Structure 1
Amino acid sequence: MKIATMATGGIGGFLAVRLTQAGHQVAAIARGDHLRAIAENGLTLEHGTGVDTVTPWIATDDPAEVGEVDAIIFGVKGDALESAAKACLPMIGEDTVVVPFLNGVEASERLMQILPAHCVANGMAQISTTIAAPGVVRQVGDFSRFVFAERDSQPSARIDALRAAIKGAGASAPATNDIDRDLWMKFVLFSAVSGVTAAGRCTIGDILDHPPLADLMRAVIAETAAIGRARGISLPMTAEADTWNLVQGLPRAMRASTAIDLEEGRPLEIEWISGAARRLAAQMDVPAPINSALYALLLPHKTGHG
């Protein structure tokens, strides 16, 4: 397959390395020092069992150099979605599928406002990665799970082909019969982990060790799940308990990327996490006081200070 990673950050970089190793033509869209390092030294993935370096089919900051591809792995920060989507247009053919792997639950709807609607799928990633240095992506832990489907969750040949490619590259890509449910289950977890670890400047261990913080996290979980159900999402009745069980099994030192961005003075994605929960709740006339409070606490840091 011809696959573009837009952009080649943590998720895109991981998949670019694995898919290139599996024999696919991967166009790595990047910029700045990261792009220069990829062009000069290849794209490197550091992981628990070693280090792999590949030379992508194309490494560029201009998607027009790539041309039409079979699939676009779309993984950018929420605030960069609009500009990145417009940049993807030269790579879009009639049957190209664009799979968003972004935090939040609004990416596919936002993409459809810019790209041909029939090209936009939906997806969510469960993997911990970061750019460790220009040209170097580091995977934390050994899990890598990518769940995606057409927006109506119906089977399609192009989704099957991309799923087979990712499986063949050594990552998990299970089929799903309800991508909206899967996306919201992650959002229920992430809205809580992101909001509490960032606003509280704390880790999962801190939350588990301090009952008021644990109560706060359980309340965010319940509130976000209620928003999803109000919007017609078929969350299981055990969603809240299942999510809290997941939290208890997370590494004690873990913090959300929002908390790390806050500490390092980078812009925050809060409009698509706590802010999204607040906004989506208001649309359904559902109360969301806790997500609203977390959003308000983080709002002064939204643009970062770097």
Structure 2
Amino acid sequence: MKIATMATGGIGGFLAVRLTKAGHQVATIARGAHLEAIRNAGLTLKGPDRGDEAETVTPWIATDDPAQVGPVDAIIFGVKGDALESAAKACLPMIGPDTVVVPFLNGVEAADQLLAVLPEASVANGVAHISTTIVKPGVIGQVGTFNRFVFAERDSRASERIDALRTAFNTAGAAAPATNDINRDLWMKFIMFSAASGVTAAARCRIGDVLNHPPLSELFRAVIAETAALARARGISLPSTIEKDTWAIVQGLPRDMRASTAIDLEAGRPLEIEWVSGAVRRLALEAGVPAPINSTLYSVLLPHKSGQGG
């Protein structure tokens, strides 16, 4: 398959390495020092499942201009929420009649936002379960060994293009199970991420701190319950045990893990709070349900939204 990663950050970089090693033509869209490093030395993936080893590949194309790529079979769309509109417009030269665009962004609104820019027939929906980041230009680091990518057409119907991309992921060592309800899967991750993002950023802490301090545990579980209540109010078909199940997952996470929001806050980078705590606050107002805890976390983090004070 011809696949583009837009852009080649943690998620796009992980998939670009795995898919390239599996023989697919992968165009990596990047910029600046990261792009230059990929061009000069290839794209490298490091992680605990490889010990001291690292996987390095030479992508089919490395560019900051999607027009140089042309139409592809699939676009892995993984940018920060605030960059969605501009990145989506940049994707247009890579869209062909059968191209599928799979968003792997934080939050639950990416697919709807993409519809404002891209052809409706091109947009699918997806959710990624993995912890990766750019550790230095040209190098992607993975925390933990888990990776799971769930995606489907927006209405969760079966399609040949989704099946083909899922097969490509699975044979490349990136787990991509089938789903019959992508909206449920998206919200199930969001329920946990809203808590992880808001709490580890606002408290400047890691998952181990959440588990070791009962008041933080109570706060974390309260955010889980609040976001789950919003999902149900919006008609999402959640398991009745979602709150309990989500907390059990959190207890099994690496103790040094924290959400990308917390990492960005420490580094003084802009925060995606409008897509996480802010989204819960906004969507709850629309649905007429309370969300005081997410609203408070959003307010606490708001002064750092643009990166100042990091």
State the partner residue of 1:51. 54
**Counterpart check, 1:291 vs 2:294:** yes
Q: Quote the offset at 1:254 in angstroms.
A: 1.5
State the partner residue of 1:14. 14
Q: How far apart, in 1, do the equivalents of 2:201 and 2:256 lie?
A: 13
State the partner residue of 1:76. 79
User: Superposition pairs for residues 178-217 of structure 1, below 5 Å?
Assistant: 178-217=181-220
1:25-84 deviation per Cα after TM superposition (whole angstroms, max 9, x unaligned):
000000000000111111111122120111111000000000000000000000000000
**Counterpart check, 1:219 vs 2:243:** no
Question: Which SS does the other structure have where 2:54 is aligned?
Answer: strand
Contact 2:124 2:152 in 1 (8 A): yes
State the partner residue of 1:112. 115
Question: Which SS does the other structure have where 1:148 is aligned?
Answer: strand
Q: How far apart, in 2, do the equivalents of 1:27 and 1:251 lie?
A: 32
State the partner residue of 2:40. 40
- What 5-or-longer segments of structure 1 have no aligned partner? none
**Counterpart check, 1:301 vs 2:304:** yes
Question: Which SS does the other structure have where 1:143 is aligned?
Answer: coil
User: Superposition pairs for residues 36-185 of structure 1, below 5 Å?
Assistant: 36-48=36-48, 49=50, 50-185=53-188
Question: Which SS does the other structure have where 2:102 is aligned?
Answer: strand
Question: What TM-score do the two structures reach when normalised by structure 1?
Answer: 0.99
Structure 2 counterpart of 1:232, one-letter code: G
State the partner residue of 1:278. 281
Question: What TM-score do the two structures reach when normalised by structure 2?
Answer: 0.97
Q: How far apart, in 2, do the equivalents of 1:80 and 1:74 lie?
A: 11
1:93-141 deviation per Cα after TM superposition (whole angstroms, max 9, x unaligned):
1110000000000000000110001100000001111101101111111
Q: How far apart, in 2, do the equivalents of 1:192 and 1:255 lie?
A: 11
Q: How far apart, in 2, do the equivalents of 1:141 and 1:199 lie?
A: 23
Number of aligned residues: 306
1:156-198 deviation per Cα after TM superposition (whole angstroms, max 9, x unaligned):
0000000000111011100000000000000000000110010
Q: Which moved more, 1:140-149 or 1:247-256?
A: 247-256
Contact 2:191 2:224 in 1 (8 A): yes
Structure 2 counterpart of 1:155, one-letter code: A
State the partner residue of 1:248. 251
Contact 2:3 2:74 in 1 (8 A): yes
Contact 2:144 2:254 in 1 (8 A): no
- Runs of 4 or more consecutive aligned structure 1 residues displaced over 6 Å after TM superposition: none
Q: How far apart, in 2, do the equivalents of 1:113 and 1:285 lie?
A: 25
Q: CA RMSD in A?
A: 0.8
Contact 2:25 2:60 in 1 (8 A): yes
Question: Which SS does the other structure have where 2:130 is aligned?
Answer: strand
- What 5-or-longer segments of structure 2 have no aligned partner? none
Q: Quote the offset at 1:212 in angstroms.
A: 1.3
User: Percent same amino acid among aligned pairs?
Assistant: 76
Structure 2 counterpart of 1:4, one-letter code: A
1:224-280 deviation per Cα after TM superposition (whole angstroms, max 9, x unaligned):
000000000001110000011111111222211111111111110000000000011
Structure 1 counterpart of 2:120, one-letter code: A
**Counterpart check, 1:26 vs 2:46:** no
Question: Which SS does the other structure have where 1:131 is aligned?
Answer: strand
